[in-house]
Amino acid sequence: MKRHPALSRLSREHHAALVLAKHAQRASSETNDFQTRLASEIVDTFEREIEGHFRLEESCLLPPLEKAGQTLPVGRTLSDHAALRKLASRLATGDISCLNMFGDLLAAHVRFEERELFPLAESVLTPELLARLDQDLCRSKP
């Protein structure tokens, strides 16, 4: 799906999140050792990549959407982010019982953003706001 350039970076980052989600969803049929290693990998990836992705969305994308009156999708995004942070925190403490839940929520969250949030942003944000979003995201590149 072709994205507005302002959203293309965020959209590209979703691929790695979906791969991670799929591994977490399938982990229940694996050994405890495998699940423990996967949980560690998820925590590392969450801290290294996903948390930064969330912060970018929360600081650059969600405020203009909220100003445009899109409080429900903004609220869902923030709620998902909070729940994923909580699950990642549980995984960091060694609680592998939430691997599947983490995978399910992460996959559902990415689908929501790709199918609903990003198209909504492309339709309700003005070209000027999208250009500003693009500049803000470019400035925050690692």
**Integer Cα distance of 123 and 112 in angstroms:** 16
What confidence tier does 131 reach under pLDDT thresholds 50, 70, 90?
A: confident
pLDDT in tens, 36-89: 999 999 999 999 999 999 999 999 899 999 999 999 999 999 999 999 999 999
User: Taking a C-beta distance cutoff of 8 angstroms, is the pair 108, 33 a contact?
Assistant: no
**Integer Cα distance of 96 and 91 in angstroms:** 6
Three-state SS across 12-66?
Answer: HHHHHHHHHHHHHHHHHHCCHHHHHHHHHHHHHHHHHHHHHHHHHHHHHHHHHHH
C-alpha distances out from residue 130 to 64, 91, 108, 114, 115, Å: 9, 36, 25, 16, 18
Contacts of 28 (CB under 8 A, 6+ apart): 35, 99, 100
**Integer Cα distance of 114 and 129 in angstroms:** 19
Instruction: Tell which wins on pLDDT, 29 or 40.
Output: 40
